Amino acid sequence: MIPGVINLQRLLQSTTGEIESVVVPELDNLLKLDSYLEPYQDEIRRRYYVFQNILKRLETEEQGIDNFTSAYKHFGIHVNPQTNEINIKEWAPGAKAMYIRGDFNNWKEREYPFTCDQWGVWRVTIPPLSDGSTTIKHGQAIKLLLEIGNGQLVDRLCPWSRYVQRAEKSSVYHGVFYNPPIDEIYQFKYSQPKKRDRLKIYEAHVGISSPKQEIATYENFRVNVIPRIVKQGYNTIQIMAIMEHPYYASFGYQVTSYFAASSRYGTPEELKALIDEAHKYGLAVLLDIVHSHSSTNVVDGLNMFDGTVGCFFHGSARGYHTLWDSRCFNYLEREVMRFLLSNIRYWLEEFKFDGFRFDGVSSMLYHSHGIAHSFSGSYDEYFGLAADTDSFNYLQLANYVCQTFFPDSIRIAEDVSGMPTLCRPIAEGGAGFDYRLAMAIPDVWIKLLKEKKDEDWHMGNITWALINRRASEKNIAYAESHDQSIVGDKTIAQWLLDEQIYSNMSIFDERTGVIDRGLAFHKMIRLLTYALGGEGWLNFEGNEFGHPEWLDFPRIGNNESYKHARRLFYLCDDENLRFKYLNAWDKAMNVLEEEYKWLSAQNTCISRRIEADKTIVFERGNQGLMFVFNFHGDKSFPDYRIGCGQSGKYKIVLNSDAKLFDGHDRINSEQVFCTENVCWDDRPYSFKIYAPTRTVCVLALVDNKK
């Protein structure tokens, strides 16, 4: 094991000629896709050069990437099954001494001293008791005791802990010796799904997934929520806030224990059962992984672990995220890489997650962390000094580990900057992600709902915002996510329905103008985003049926209330409430996509964006799928001619005005439309339809004339 920082200064003691000679296997393909990258190919080569050199060094110094990323199997606390000895190994280069204590020794301070090697790795072996059993018992509370530079003794949680709990009547966590008997270890029954190219993601938070004013459990999610997700037609679950975080209201983004599944929801075995249950129905399960930063919590987390401001993080100002009040990892420090890459391997291997949504990637990619960074779109921003290439190289390594050892794994980057190559293969010099989140889209809808009258909505601007993405890099589209659901903001349903979301959603109540408009636009906004905005779709739980409340986790400011930290699923189950119609629409969208597979279609043609009519017409896919939107507030259009690329007969396959979705039933869904040889909107064929106000109609080709 060789320590130290693998950094650019050490790796790039090379001439310009050496960089130019670096072979990026598929760089030519990348440059064909985007010729604007030509002037930056040396920087792309340099990044790839660093990545390759790291792999070579790990091969010679660490017995390869496989061994290196399996560190979770020997770092931390482990039992030798043959001898029942307990072996503990930790990295703390700034510590002067280390001990282990806990319930097993009545918290004596210096009973089990560790020894330290030249690399700052501390070890101890605790022999079994005289009866042959382990000295520390499953479930006992434990902590590391470190003597730091000033001679002070401090308690710390093991960074590799697999289970930590908050002590009763305490705000402080303790480590738990997690060594359940074999018959209590969950055995997976179902195989993991193969990698999909059309993700329909249900983003969910275990703790809020109940109507009760409490923290819901893994078991509740397994039994009560997964069947809903299956029924709605989603094929992927993205689970938030799993990695342990003492502050519940952080939404899981102030992580302290990276290998510990949050104990507030249950045990690791119960999380495994949840994932296995999802696999039973063919659902992929993604973990919302937070490697972009770490909590500043010293008592429970990695911060100041060995008594120094460095260790896992940059010791300078570079190691602090001022906006998030968190610490930033020193990604190319050898032991930090070992820790984080092993963390990736751990969740995929031990829990059988099917991939990750990487949080805060934009924050990682730039020295500014994206703070006050407008991202003009200039390639100089992406490939100049503003970019943090240590982080880029770490992300390459992370994706390399995933695709090498788990080729069916899915990786999504939360990136708002639009950095080119982020979602291109590593062999092209890219970072290797499969998708990035289309983070700009929700802002478009919220801005329109907050600031514009309906008549001022610009069809051209809306459609441009939805299609304005790199053609060679796939996006996950969403109209709103958890960000828009948090207190201080409003969901689309709240903006549209205002206070009437509480008073006029009964089918027996007056159907006011606000309700009529709100229901119509909620359906239209979601389908337009789904159909035009990306190569995948994401919905945050509750938004599918227009959840009437925002999210507000218990905190001092709300008297630690759980009233808004829950999801009222019973609203869409109530036959007397209009939430059921929005829920039905959500399912219908997923069913339609599953049949016509537009998310994987490459050929999208927007033929009509008429401001006066407030209409949008486009085709997507090879099956003649046509979308006709009329956003006009008071104009319906009989005999409205629309152009199409294929001749034949078309039928209506989805109609927001249908009674099933609480529409006015103005469209005859049984009508068949025959194309005419009339060129329209630069399309070779056309036909006429009825487009009522505030509706969307989807048509599909049923008979193709050759």
DSSP line for 184-221: GS----SPPPPPPSSEEEEEEEGGG-SSSSS---HHHI
Task: Give yes or no for residue 291 having a pLDDT over 80.
Answer: yes
Helices (H) and strands (E) in the chain, counts: 19, 30
Structure-block tokens of residue 389: 């290439």
Query: Any idea what the Cα angle at residue 92 is, between residues 91 and 96, rounded to 5°?
Result: 135
State how far the Cα of 176 lies from the Cα of 338, in Å rounded to an integer: 23
Average pLDDT over residues 650-672: 96
Average pLDDT over residues 139-158: 97
State how far the Cα of 471 lies from the Cα of 460, in Å rounded to an integer: 19
Task: Give yes or no for residue 706 having a pLDDT over 50.
Answer: no
Structure-block tokens of residue 149: 């530079």
State how far the Cα of 483 lies from the Cα of 551, in Å rounded to an integer: 9
What is the Cα Rg of the chain in Å?
27
What is the predicted pLDDT for the residue at 34? 96
Task: Give yes or no for residue 661 having a pLDDT over 60.
Answer: yes
Average pLDDT over residues 568-574: 98
Q: From the CB of residue 55, how many other CB atoms can be counted at a distance below 10 Å?
A: 15
- Tens digit of each residue's pLDDT (9 = 90 or more) over 104-119: 999 999 999 999 999 9
HSE at residue 280, side-chain half, CA atoms within 13 A, is: 14
DSSP state of 653: E
User: Which residues contact residue 511 at a Cβ distance below 8 angstroms, ignoring those fewer than 6 apart?
Assistant: 504
Average pLDDT over residues 423-449: 96
Task: Give yes or no for residue 39 having a pLDDT over 50.
Answer: yes
What is the predicted pLDDT for the residue at 16? 57
| Mean pLDDT, all residues of the chain | 95
What is the predicted pLDDT for the residue at 155? 97
pLDDT over 90, % of the chain: 91
CB-based burial label for 152 (10 Å; 0-12, 13-18, 19+): exposed
Q: 639: helix, coil or strand?
A: strand
pTM value is 0.96
What is the predicted pLDDT for the residue at 246? 95
Average pLDDT over residues 522-533: 98
Nearest to 626 by CA among 692, 527, 520: 527
Return phi, psi of residue 153, to 5°.
-95, 125
- Tens digit of each residue's pLDDT (9 = 90 or more) over 363-421: 999 999 988 888 888 999 999 999 999 999 999 999 999 999 999 999 999 999 999 99
Give Cα 222 to chain centroid, integer Å.
20
Task: Give yes or no for residue 4 having a pLDDT over 80.
Answer: no
State how far the Cα of 679 lies from the Cα of 699, in Å rounded to an integer: 19
State how far the Cα of 44 lies from the Cα of 234, in Å rounded to an integer: 37
What is the predicted pLDDT for the residue at 8? 44
What is the predicted pLDDT for the residue at 705? 53
- Tens digit of each residue's pLDDT (9 = 90 or more) over 55-83: 999 999 999 999 999 999 999 999 999 99
Report the range of poorest mean pLDDT among 81-90, 394-403, 434-443, 696-705.
696-705
Clarify whether 414 is annotated catalytic.
Answer: yes
pLDDT over 70, % of the chain: 97
Average pLDDT over residues 223-232: 98
Task: Give yes or no for residue 6 having a pLDDT over 70.
Answer: no
Identify residue 65 by its one-letter amino acid code.
I
Clarify whether 18 is annotated catalytic.
Answer: no
Q: 628: helix, coil or strand?
A: strand
Structure-block tokens of residue 185: 């270890």
Return phi, psi of residue 426, to 5°.
-60, -35
Average pLDDT over residues 421-433: 98
Among residues 43, 147, 203, 359, which one is catalytic?
359
Average pLDDT over residues 123-136: 97
- Tens digit of each residue's pLDDT (9 = 90 or more) over 442-472: 999 999 999 999 999 999 999 999 999 998 9
What is the predicted pLDDT for the residue at 704? 64
Structure-block tokens of residue 105: 């020794």
State how far the Cα of 521 lies from the Cα of 526, in Å rounded to an integer: 8
First to last CA, the chain: 67
- Tens digit of each residue's pLDDT (9 = 90 or more) over 307-357: 999 999 999 999 999 999 999 999 999 999 999 999 999 999 999 999 999
Structure-block tokens of residue 14: 């090379």
What does each C-alpha distance from 184 to 176, 180, 218, 263, 287 come to in angstroms? 16, 6, 16, 16, 24
- Tens digit of each residue's pLDDT (9 = 90 or more) over 180-198: 999 999 999 999 999 999 9
Task: Give yes or no for residue 18 having a pLDDT over 90.
Answer: no
CB-based burial label for 378 (10 Å; 0-12, 13-18, 19+): exposed
Task: Give yes or no for residue 178 having a pLDDT over 90.
Answer: yes
All domains in the chain, ordered by first residue: 8-67 (no CATH), 71-184 (2.60.40.10), 199-290+438-596 (3.20.20.80), 601-704 (2.60.40.1180)
What is the predicted pLDDT for the residue at 376? 85
State how far the Cα of 26 lies from the Cα of 518, in Å rounded to an integer: 49
Among residues 300, 414, 480, 619, which one is catalytic?
414
Structure-block tokens of residue 320: 């602090």
